[in-house]
C-alpha cells in the first residue's frame, strides 16, 4: 500500500515549515489485544509519561480499548478505570471523573466519550481517558500519568477493509516531549482533506485548519502494507522552524520523527485511524530530546 500526501500548510506557529519524506525504518503495527470486552471495542493510542524536573518523556502503545457505559468501565490492554462517575452531559459528549466522595477537579482521573470535536457529525464515538494526578507512581508502574485516546467501533474486534471510496477526513497530530518550556511540548497540528481508497492504494490530500498563519509546504510519501490489525511500512516526518532571528533558546528548531504504529478501522460510511510517531527535537540552544506524538483522525465517505 502506498500513501501519498501533498498539501500546502499554514501552521499555528509563524515561520513553521514541514517536510515529510520516505524513510527506511519500518513501522510494525501489532496492537496490544484485550482478552475480552463486555462493551464496545475500539482502538487507541495509550501514552505513558514520566516527569524528570522540567522534562517529560512519553512512550506510546497502540492498543485495543473497551468501554462499558452501563458500568462506566474503561480498559486498555494493560490499564483500567475505576470508580468513574458521570459528572456532565454536554451535547453529544458524556464526561466522567473518579470522585471517591470528593468534588470535580482537573486533577481527578477523567474520561470523556462521545463526539470528537473535529468531526461533530461523526457517529464513531471518540474516547479520551487520563489518570492525571489521581494515582500514585507505584500504581502506574513508575509513570506519572497515563492517557488513552481513540475511537470505539462496536462489538467487532476488527473491521473489514473498505470498498473503493473517497473519505473527507479531519486529523490532528499532538504530543508531548522534551522540556515543558519547549514549544514542542503539547504541540497541536490540526488538518483536513480527503482520503481516496482504491484496492491497496490510499491517496491523501490535506491542508491545515488554520490558514495564513505562516508559510510551509508539506509533502509526504509513505510505503505501507495493510494487515488485519494495522500497517507495516515506512514513513519519516521532518519539521524545520523557519524563524531566522530572535528565537527563544528553548524553542524547537528541528524535529525528526518516524512512524511507529498505525491502525485504521471502518463503520458503515465512516473511517477512523490512530497512530504514533517518535523521534528527536533539537532546540535553538542546540539541546536534543526525545519526543513522542500521536496521530488521530476520522473521515466520512462521500
In this prediction, residues 115-125 reach a mean pLDDT of 85
Among 298, 9, 48, 78, smallest CA distance to 176 is for: 48
Predicted local confidence at residue 136, as pLDDT? 79
Q: How confident is the model at residue 125 (pLDDT cuts 50, 70, 90)?
A: very high
Backbone angles phi, psi at 197, to 5 degrees: -110, 125
Model confidence over 33-83: pLDDT tens digits? 888 899 999 999 999 888 887 777 788 999 999 999 999 999 999 988 878
Classify 246 as helix, strand or coil: coil
Beta-carbon-side half-sphere exposure of residue 291 (alpha carbons within 13 Å): 32
Domain boundaries, the chain: 40-301
Tracing cell 492498543 back to the chain, one arrives at 63
In this prediction, residues 252-273 reach a mean pLDDT of 82
Q: Could you give the CA distance from residue 229 to residue 209 in angstroms, rounded to a whole number? A: 30
Q: Is the pLDDT of residue 271 over 90?
A: no
Write down the pTM of the prediction: 0.80
Predicted local confidence at residue 20, as pLDDT? 31
Amino acid at each position: 500500500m502506498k500513501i501519498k500526501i501533498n498539501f500546502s500548510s499554514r501552521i499555528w506557529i509563524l515561520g513553521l515549515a514541514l517536510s515529510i519524506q520516505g524513510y527506511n525504518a519500518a513501522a510494525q503495527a501489532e496492537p496490544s489485544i484485550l482478552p475480552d470486552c463486555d462493551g464496545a471495542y475500539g482502538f487507541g493510542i495509550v501514552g505513558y509519561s514520566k516527569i524528570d524536573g522540567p522534562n517529560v518523556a512519553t512512550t506510546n502503545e497502540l492498543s485495543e480499548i473497551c468501554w462499558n457505559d452501563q458500568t462506566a468501565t474503561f480498559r486498555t490492554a494493560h490499564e483500567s478505570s475505576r470508580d468513574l462517575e458521570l459528572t456532565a452531559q454536554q451535547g453529544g459528549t458524556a464526561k466522567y471523573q473518579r470522585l471517591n466522595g470528593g468534588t470535580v477537579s482537573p486533577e481527578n482521573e477523567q474520561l470523556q466519550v462521545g463526539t470528537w470535536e473535529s468531526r461533530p457529525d461523526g457517529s464513531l464515538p471518540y474516547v479520551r481517558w487520563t489518570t492525571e494526578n489521581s494515582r500514585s507512581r507505584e500504581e502506574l508502574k513508575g509513570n506519572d500519568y497515563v492517557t488513552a485516546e481513540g475511537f470505539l467501533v462496536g462489538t467487532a474486534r476488527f473491521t473489514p477493509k473498505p470498498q473503493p471510496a473517497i473519505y473527507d477526513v479531519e486529523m490532528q497530530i499532538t504530543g508531548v516531549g522534551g522540556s515543558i518550556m519547549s514549544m514542542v511540548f503539547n504541540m497541536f497540528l490540526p488538518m483536513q482533506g480527503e482520503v481516496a481508497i482504491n484496492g491497496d492504494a490510499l491517496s491523501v490530500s490535506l491542508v491545515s485548519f488554520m490558514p495564513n498563519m505562516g508559510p510551509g509546504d508539506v509533502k509526504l510519501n509513505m510505503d505501507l502494507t495493510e494487515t488485519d490489525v494495522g500497517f507495516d511500512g515506512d514513513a519519516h516526518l521532518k519539521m524545520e522552524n523557519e524563524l531566522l532571528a530572535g528565537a527563544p533558546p528553548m524553542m524547537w528548531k528541528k524535529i525528526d520523527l518516524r512512524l511507529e504504529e498505525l491502525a485504521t478501522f471502518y463503520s458503515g460510511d465512516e473511517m477512523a485511524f490512530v497512530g504514533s510517531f517518535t523521534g528527536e527535537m533539537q532546540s535553538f540552544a542546540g539541546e536534543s530530546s526525545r519526543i513522542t506524538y500521536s496521530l488521530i483522525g476520522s473521515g466520512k465517505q462521500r
